Amino acid sequence: MPSAKQLRQVFQTATSGDAESFQQIAEEIIRDERAKQHHLLANDLERILYGKPLAVGTVRQLKLNVPTDKERGLPLLSVYTPTRSLDDIVLSDENLSIVEEILLEHSRREILQSHGLQAADRLLFYGPPGCGKTVTAEVIAYELELPLAILRIDSIVSSFLGETAANLRSVFEYLQASKMVVLFDEFDALGRERADQSEHGEIKRLVNSLLQMLDAFKGSGLLIAATNHEGTLDSAVWRRFEEVLSFELPNLEQIKKFLELKFRGVRRNLLRDIPEWAKRFNGMSHADIERIIRRAIKEMVLQNKEFLEDKHLEASLKREDRRQRKIHRNGQESG
Ligand SMILES: Nc1ncnc2c1ncn2[C@@H]1O[C@H](COP(=O)(O)OP(=O)(O)O)[C@@H](O)[C@H]1O
Ligand SMILES: [Mg+2]
């Protein structure tokens, strides 16, 4: 781990935007970690630092200019520096090939443009929670070396009606001016408003103007909408997206890959091998599996063990089972 002095320097140089000093201290930390034989960490840090050189200053500037809700002063979206790459996720073959194609189109968009063609820049992600919609948006941003902006439709639409139109306008102006990957999360909030006949006509008008703004949007990055409730989106919404990606629970093959990914750099002493463990995680989302493994590793560390053992995973699975049963029970009571 870096020393307190190094950490202070990282924070100072990053917040003051002093890119050169930041680079120096970051490189010093990587050297130190390597000297301590922490090669995995050193490699990761190196990849973050050099892999895709997204200027620290760019994101900082973008963050300063984020539009806010006039009434409450709340930011209407959040801007992030993406850090996870294609190597950090497990996708279905179909999604991987679509994502690779989109990345290719964008890396060669000038050539496409010279032929009067556009790179696909409107994507819709749907599927149950925890299967990679948000992280895939992050990965696309990372691979394209662009900042990631995330906004929730409901935080814009559910504020005071008069303000909503103004919010929408300022969001789109902001997006239009900067090259980013934009994720409209919880996009179904939009579908819900449209489906609800009892709603005020004004909301309907707002939703229609949102759809028009989507149509008119000519940002130079990518626009991604994500939803867990695709059933509530009507065909007017679906039509607006050039590529639609379905994110499902991982199958056994994908669970195996995911376990290998999550066990990367973890010393293991497992009696049962990965294919066997994969079966135990069948039917769970990536996020659930990740939580169970993280908890097992925590257990191992707290017990001062150097190797991950079957019993750590077993205990963690048992805890997850209790957790799910509580969620299920309470979900039924309130639903
Ligand atoms: N396909 C995946 N590959 C790798 N990690 C995943 C995947 N899906 C989910 N995760 C992990 O679970 C976390 C939550 O997933 P997220 O992308 O937010 O799901 P969603 O947006 O579909 O609800 C992610 O941050 C990531 O760490
Ligand atoms: Mg999400």
Residue range of the domain that includes 70: 57-246
In a shared domain, residues 40 and 165: no
Cβ-based burial of 1 (10 A; exposed 0-12, middle 13-18, buried ≥19):
exposed
Q: Determine whether the shortest distance from the Cβ of 90 to ligand 1 is under 6 A.
A: yes
Domain boundary among 217, 246, 275: 246
In a shared domain, residues 233 and 132: yes
**Which pLDDT tens digit goes with each residue over 5-34?**
999 999 999 888 888 899 889 989 998 998
**Which pLDDT tens digit goes with each residue over 181-222?**
999 988 877 655 555 555 556 666 777 777 888 888 887 789
Q: How many domains does the chain divide into? A: 3
**Which pLDDT tens digit goes with each residue over 56-95?**
667 888 888 898 887 778 889 999 999 999 999 999 999 9
CA distance 332 to 335: 5
Cα angle 322, 291, 306 (rounded to 5 degrees) comes to 105
- For a mutational test of ligand 1's pocket, the pick from 78, 124, 135, i.e. the residue with the most ligand atoms closer than 8 A to its C-beta, is 135
CA distance 90 to 96: 9
Reduced 3-state DSSP string for 311-325 = HHHHHHHHHHHHHHH
In a shared domain, residues 217 and 258: no
Identify the nearest ligand to the CA of 255 by its number.
1
In a shared domain, residues 138 and 97: yes
Domain boundary among 192, 212, 246: 246
In a shared domain, residues 209 and 61: yes
CATH number of the domain that residue 188 is part of: 3.40.50.300
In a shared domain, residues 125 and 180: yes
Given a contact cutoff of 8 angstroms between Cβ atoms, the answer to whether 43 and 55 are in contact is no
pLDDT band at 132; cut points 50, 70, 90:
very high
In a shared domain, residues 215 and 240: yes
In a shared domain, residues 114 and 171: yes
pLDDT band at 335; cut points 50, 70, 90:
very low
Cα angle 248, 249, 252 (rounded to 5 degrees) comes to 125
In a shared domain, residues 92 and 114: yes
Domain boundary among 246, 267, 299: 246
In a shared domain, residues 189 and 113: yes
Q: How many residues does the chain have?
A: 335
Distance 249 CA to ligand 1 centre (A): 11
Given a contact cutoff of 8 angstroms between Cβ atoms, the answer to whether 181 and 147 are in contact is yes
In a shared domain, residues 176 and 38: no
Distance 20 CA to ligand 2 centre (A): 34
Given a contact cutoff of 8 angstroms between Cβ atoms, the answer to whether 296 and 335 are in contact is no
